[in-house]
Structure formats: C-alpha cells, structure tokens
Amino acid sequence: MTVRGRLRVLLGAAPGVGKTYAMLEEGRRLADAGTDVVIGIVETHGRAATAAMTAGLPELPRRAVGHRGVELDELDLAGLLARRPALALVDELAHTNAPGSRNEKRWQDVAELLEAGIDVYSTLNVQHIASVNDVVEQITGVPQRETVPDAFLRGADQIEVIDLAPQALRDRLAGGVVYPAERIDAALSNYFRLGNLTALRELALLWLADEVDQALTSYRSEHGIQRTWEARERVVVALTGGPEGETLLRRGARIAARAAGGALVAVHVTSPDGLRSGSPAALAQQRALAEQLGGSYHQVLGSDVPDALVDFARSHNATQLVLGASRRGRIATALTGPGIGATVIRESGDIDVHIVTHAAAGSSRSLPRLGGGLTARRRLAGLGIALVGGPLLTWLLYALRSPESITGDVLSYQLLVVLVALVGGLWPALFAAVLSGITLDYLFIAPLFTVTITDPLHVVALLLYMTIAALVSFVVDRAARTARAARRAAAESELIQTVAGSVLRGDSAVQALVDRVREAFSLAGARLVEDGATIAAAGSCDAEAAQRLPVGERAELELYGAHLPASEQRLLAVITAQLDAALQHQHLAETASEIAPIAASDRVRGALLSALSHDLRRPLAAATTAVGGLRTAGAALSQDDRRALLETADESLSALTALVTDLLDVSRLQAGALAIATAPLDPADAVGPALDELALGPAEVSLALAHGERQAVADPVLLQRVLVNLLANARRFSPPERTVLIATSTFADRVELRVVDHGPGIPPDRRDEVFVPFQRLGDTANGTGLGLGLALSKGFVEAMGGTLEPEDTPGGGLTMVVSLPAAPAPGPVPPGSAASRRPSPSTPTAEEARP
C-alpha cells in the first residue's frame, strides 16, 4: 500500500514576500542532504535572485498547451508521476490549468502527487484561500477567481507563513526586486498600499492561528481530552442581558489583555421556553461592545444555565470564566437555593471562575412573583367548572352512593380537581380541592352531615388534594407561559422581518416602521412627528394620543388607541431605536444632497473672482505695454527689440485667450451649460491627440499602455484637455534627459491613467495647493501657464465621475493619477486566454500575483 505523501505549504500575505525563494532554498538544502528533489514547476517572474536559486536542481520540462493561438506552459503531471521523486517543488498552488489539462486546478495535480506517495512543497498567497477570498476583495478591491478549498489546505501536513513587514515589501517593490520598473508605480499605488499589505498580513497570521487552534481542538477531541490546556488564555464572559454586562465585558477584556494573545469570548444562554431572557437592546449593545473590545459573541440554548456555561467554556478550551454576582436578594436566595454562580464554581473543575460584583448585585429584595401565564378568562372558566361541576358531580355520586363506593367517590372528586387545574390554573384548582374535601367529609364520610375531621388521614387526604392541584396547575401554567412566549417571539420576528423586507423592496424605512407599529399592536393610528411636522403616519390620528414615545432628540412617536401595557415596551424600544437610525440616515442624505451643489458653486465662484482680480490683469498689462512700446518708439527700435516686443505681446495675448477660454468653461460648468457627453472610450484614443497637440515625440514621452481591452467612461474632448494640462506640467518640470511616462492600468472597476515625471516633486503638505486656482507654488514667469489648468482638470475629471490625485514617483518626482469609471466588460475572459494573461501594472494577474 502506497504511503501518502506529505504536503508543506508556504503561505504569504502578498506577492514578493519570498515564498518561492524560501521553497527553493529548502529544496537545495534537502538535495544537498541526499534527497531526490525535482522542480515540477517554478514561476520566477523575471526575478534574478529566484532564478539563481533554481541552478543545480533538476527541473522537469514543462508541458506546452496550445489555446486560442497562444502556447501556454503547464506542469507535466504525467511526467512527474513517472519520475516519482521523493520531493516535488510545485509553485502557485491556486493556479488554473489551461483548458484540456488533466485537472482544472493545480491543487488537484498536487493531490494526485500526494496520493502517489510523493512529498510536495508549494506556495500560496492568502487571497487565494477560499474562505477569506471575499474579505481580501473588500480590502483591496481586486477580485481573485483562483482559490484553493480550505478543506484541502487544512489537510496539509505543515503550513508556514513567510512573513515580511509591509514597509519592507514596499521597499523591495520600489527597488525593482518584485516587478519591472514600468509596473512599480502602479503597484505601489494600488494593490501594494501600506494599509492593504498590513491588513493582508494580519489576515494571513489570523488564518494560520485559527488553523493551529482547530488542530489543537481536533487533537483534544480525538484523544478524549476534557481538561483545559492553557496553551492560550481564553476568557469567557457570561452575559444575562442585565445592566451588569458592560462591567463584566470590560473586566474580562482586562484579564485577557494581561496575557499576550488572550482571547475574549462573550456568551448568553437562552432558555428553550423563552421565559428566561435578557433585554434584547442590552444584549445588542453588549454584543457591539464585545466586538469593539476584540472579542466574539455567542448565543447558546440551554435549560440548565450552569451546565450550558461550563460545557461552552470547555468546548472553547477556556481558562477563565467571568460571571456577575447574583442580583437576587437574600430572601429569594434562601427560598430557591444556591444561584448560578455557586453551581458554576462547583462544576467548573480546572477553569478559574471570577465572580464580579456590580451595582445591581443583591438589589432585588422582593419575593419571587407568583403571576401566572394563564389569561383571566381561563381562570374564570376554571372557577366556573368548579362551581358548576362540583354540585353536579356531588348530586350524581350521592344518588349512587353505597358503602363500597367511597374509593370511586374520592377518585371522581380528584378528577374534577385535575380538570379545573388544567383549565383554570392554581387558584381555581385549590378552591376545587378544598370544596371537594369538605363535600366528601360532609356527605360521604361518617358521621354524615357534619364537617368534622376526627381521623388524621382525612387531613392528609385534603393536603394531597391541594398538592396534586398545585402540581398540575404549575405544569399548566408553565405550558401556557411557554406557548405565549413562543407566540410573542414569532410575532416579534415577523414584525422585524416584514420591516426589513419593506426596506429591501425600496419602501421608506420610516413609513414601513410606522405602518407595522400600528398593525402589530392593533392601534387605531400611529404617527411620527419631528419639530411639529408629521414625518410619517398610519391609520386614524384624529383623537388624543394615548401614548407618546421619544425618538432620538427631536422626534416623537404618537400612538392612538388603547394604552400599551409594560410587556409591549421592550419591542417598542427596539422599534423606536430603528426609527431614530432611519431618521438620522434620511437627514444625512438630505444634507449631503443640499450641500453638494452649494460647495460646487462656491468653488466655481472663487475661481472666477481670482481670475478677474489676479491673472486676467497680468497678461493684459504685458500685452498693452508691448503694443504701447511699439507705437511710441517703433521707428527707433532695432529689429531684435521689435521682435522681442511682438513675441511678448503674442505670448501675453495667447495666455489671455487661454485664460478667457478656461473662464468661459468654468462659467458654463457653473451654469450647467457645458455639455459633458460621456461614453465608453479607449484611453489610448485620448493620449494620441494630446501628444499631437503638444508636439511631443518618443524623445520626450514614453508609453506603457496596459489597460487591455477595458474602456473608460469619459468625455473624449475633456479627457484630452486634462491630459494636455498634465503632460505640459510634467514636461516642464522633468529634467531634459528624462522622459515623461504615460501609463494606463485597471484597478477593480476603474481605469487609471498616470502621467509620471521625475522632477523635484511636491511636498505632501502642499499637494492640495496645486488644485487651487492660480497657484503655481511660487512660479510667476509669464510663460509658465496661468495656474488654472490643474483646477480645471480636476473639475473636468470629477464631472466625468472620476478623481485626480497626486502621488510620489519612486525615485523622485510627481505622478498625477486620473481614475475614471470603467465601462462594463463585454463578457468573461476564459481562463488561460491571451487576454487573461495580459500583465497589468496596477494589480497582479493570476499568473503574476505570486512570487
């Protein structure tokens, strides 16, 4: 029987951390020690240090696969199985094989190698783990379609994180170790942002920690280990939904913080009958606090709270259990015995238990309530059965009495007591028991027609009657409570579900909540009033409001009809909180919509005033002076002087014309008369005309267009003007020996254009100034522009739904990034096609996103 091979996976947070290098380094060490090591497939991505590590290791030739006119290199699985090395090095575990291959995914190839008894070393990035793939997409904005199932990965014999600090990885990237020079800028600005790398690194470490945790749990379960292993401090906090919850959570968090890597776990035990539950609002707040403190929240079902708490703590390998001191008073404790805390301490074993005092501890000095779960109608019905059924039964039994019928008489009255208890509960049953006992003694027990208890057994019989009545009543009452709690929970769940459904269907959240309040509580009407104005109303609201509830600081919910009892207040508190949140959201949306046009108008108005007061005056004065000089001293001037004055006048008038054109565009934009016609556009179609307008050639500008087939949604005329302004600035500040780079890329659902120069750059604290109209950072030469170009460029880009942001150029300089919405893709690109393998400078592709 073939022994299954061992799998070792080197896990990284991002491309470039050194996973492939570490795999090859270990392979060389084992080969030197005499192990038969073969390179199945390794992707060096042009990295010299990685390629150098392959030297001296035998490498299996790759299998060439033709697909749609493109030749692809894949792992030769059949050749590797035939070669049967002791160890195979297989890079990029999540890789998708070319169509027509033996397996769809490379991890499936690795599974076959393991079944054949071949050990495998492989590499993987955290974004390719199936369970965290969606989280990585939220962090980076980049979808990754190549994943490895968690079940396969967790089956590996060894998983090792190749860790590298985020800034160190960015330094490697900037140094050209990871990607070629033309891709460095886009990579640093997008996927390799410092925040992205920090989050990915934490995600990789947390996934591995969870894997170690699961492995420990599985080992304990397989070996039947019940006692706590204090490999990691785990603090379980028991919540009841009472006011002490916040105190307990903060105490538990402090206990966990004292131990490096301590975990905080909050748990609430719910009774199956729904009778013992805390405040939903308090539990929701405590859940949010637990997550804010870095812990997790759990809710478990258990009829015996102490057992449920101890079982939960053991299942989570808890080392400490935090409970609050009992809120019961001394009288209640004396009557009902030891509380939950004492029982947990007795059952906890090797788990440390902390009983934390709080403001509400021992505050309840009243006796337990005797209120029942039965309605008044049922209690009256039970009393009626006792009053009517008792005499009827007595008449029947008296008519049929005989010296031998006393046993049947007693059982008949007992049946009546049980029947009354089933219908009416405790008090009608006790009444029937006493009445039955007196009737039996008066009519059926000698001496007849007297109520005398001469035999102690008669006293015992009467007490048994009352005991049976009380027990049956307790069962009935508990069943009624359970049924009512279940109906109540179902109604509350239906109410919340209906409100959520109304909002999801596009209905107004405020109106939907008000409608459901009236329907759920059978009210004549309900109305939400804010500052004296009606926001939403349902039903008839003409009469005097029976009840008013505050909603936030400015609104009030008016309820018309019957006054709601205290039992309904809990759900009303949840609904008013939802109403408050819905109102705040509505106000924020209205405020944002009102402020947006005002802010835009203020920006445009400021630009116009600055233009008229500053830059319009200077070129006009220069042109006037030049023309005046020609008029007054025309004949006395030399040809060179005349030429200089004419050039000054021409330059100033050209600048004045450009300024007036920009001001007209700004005024049209303010008046809404500047038509912006956006349509899908290939960015290259705007780059070419911009270069022609500035007469720039290959000696001044280099191109790196890597947007593939994606198109941007833009106005071609405005985008050309934006590029002309950015190119003119970049060319002006770049050294003569360096070219300006125009690069395009894609990032999530955006198309980005970068204009990169290698000039002096702009300090980070002054970058906002470049977009202020007529700001040139101290440059006042007449021929350097008007200072309005970048302000208008930003306005044009934002009008097209995009953004314009400055960034540092690696090695010095400034990069202006134009980000525009991407047009919808024409359709999915088949894996392995040429389009799917086109490199992108913004994000790693499926082939390049791994070191």
At 628 the pLDDT is 79
pLDDT at residue 841 tops 50: no
Asked if residue 526 is part of any domain, the answer here is no
**Alpha-carbon separation of residue 535 from 157, 185, 547, 551, 770 (angstroms):** 62, 52, 17, 12, 45
Asked if residue 501 is part of any domain, the answer here is no
pLDDT at residue 259 tops 70: no
In whole angstroms, give the CA distance from residue 109 to residue 227: 41
Lowest-confidence segment of 40-54, 180-194, 246-260 by average pLDDT = 180-194
Q: Are 184 and 165 in contact (CB under 8 A)?
A: no
Asked if residue 248 is part of any domain, the answer here is yes
The band of 39, judged by pLDDT with boundaries at 50, 70 and 90, is very high
pLDDT at residue 103 tops 60: yes
Average of per-residue pLDDT across 179-185:
68
At 38 the pLDDT is 93
Asked if residue 113 is part of any domain, the answer here is yes
At 627 the pLDDT is 79
Shared domain check, 792 and 653: no
Shared domain check, 706 and 634: no
Kindly report the CATH number assigned to the domain that includes residue 98. 3.40.50.300
**Alpha-carbon separation of residue 583 from 114, 551, 737 (angstroms):** 59, 9, 60
Q: Return the closest-CA partner of residue 804 out of 715, 703, 726.
A: 726
Average of per-residue pLDDT across 682-704:
86
- Which position has the higher pLDDT, 26 or 500? 26
Domain C-terminal end among 624, 654, 671: 671
At 785 the pLDDT is 43
Kindly report the CATH number assigned to the domain that includes residue 245. 3.40.50.620
Shared domain check, 120 and 37: yes
Shared domain check, 333 and 197: no
% of the chain residues with pLDDT over 70: 73
Shared domain check, 35 and 55: yes
DSSP helix/strand/coil, 192? coil
Shared domain check, 320 and 190: no
In whole angstroms, give the CA distance from residue 257 to residue 247: 15
Asked if residue 574 is part of any domain, the answer here is no
Lowest-confidence segment of 41-45, 162-166, 500-504, 821-825 by average pLDDT = 500-504
Q: Are 469 and 432 in contact (CB under 8 A)?
A: yes
The band of 113, judged by pLDDT with boundaries at 50, 70 and 90, is very high
Q: Return the closest-CA partner of residue 529 out of 544, 546, 549.
A: 549
In whole angstroms, give the CA distance from residue 249 to residue 243: 11
Shared domain check, 465 and 344: no
- Which position has the higher pLDDT, 306 or 219? 306
What's the domain range around 41? 7-222
Q: 620-659, pLDDT tens digit by residue? A: 777 787 777 777 776 777 778 778 878 887 877 777 776 6
Shared domain check, 709 and 637: no
> What's CA 244's distance to the chain center, in Å?
28
Write the DSSP assignment of 239-288 as a string of letters.
E-SSTTHHHHHHHHHHHHHHSTT-EEEEEEEE-TTS-S---HHHHHHHHH
Shared domain check, 725 and 648: no
Ranked by mean pLDDT, the top range of 99-113, 374-388, 460-474 is 99-113
Average of per-residue pLDDT across 732-757:
87
At 107 the pLDDT is 92
At 583 the pLDDT is 79
Q: Is the pTM of this model over 0.75?
A: no
In whole angstroms, give the CA distance from residue 193 to residue 423: 71
Count other C-beta atoms under 10 Å from residue 447's C-beta: 9
Q: 383-428, pLDDT tens digit by residue? A: 888 888 888 988 888 888 887 777 787 778 778 878 887 787 777 8
Shared domain check, 819 and 697: yes
Total structural domains within the chain: 5
Average of per-residue pLDDT across 59-70:
79
DSSP helix/strand/coil, 412? helix
pLDDT at residue 371 tops 60: no
Asked if residue 519 is part of any domain, the answer here is no
Q: 167-178, pLDDT tens digit by residue? A: 888 888 777 777
Helix/strand/coil (H/E/C) assignment for every residue in 340-401: HHHHHHHHCCCCEEEEECCCCCCCECCCCCCCCCCCHHHHHHHHHHHHHHHHHHHHHHHHCC
DSSP helix/strand/coil, 611? helix
Q: Return the closest-CA partner of residue 792 out of 689, 721, 844, 849.
A: 721
Range list of H helices, 695-850: 716-733, 789-799
Count other C-beta atoms under 10 Å from residue 186's C-beta: 28
Average of per-residue pLDDT across 58-68:
82
At 610 the pLDDT is 55
Domain C-terminal end among 336, 356, 376: 356
Shared domain check, 689 and 793: yes
At 89 the pLDDT is 93
Average of per-residue pLDDT across 788-796:
74
Q: Rounded to 5 degrees, what angle do the CA atoms 376, 380, 381 make? A: 115
Asked if residue 102 is part of any domain, the answer here is yes
User: To the nearest whole number, what is the mean pLDDT of the chain?
Assistant: 76
- Fill in the amino acid letter for 41: I
Domain C-terminal end among 334, 356, 378: 356
Kindly report the CATH number assigned to the domain that includes residue 801. 3.30.565.10
Asked if residue 340 is part of any domain, the answer here is yes
Q: 590-630, pLDDT tens digit by residue? A: 787 777 666 655 655 555 555 555 556 667 777 787 777 77
Tokens 């393998």 belong to 837
Q: Return the closest-CA partner of residue 116 out of 253, 1, 11.
A: 1
pLDDT at residue 372 tops 70: no
Shared domain check, 178 and 31: yes
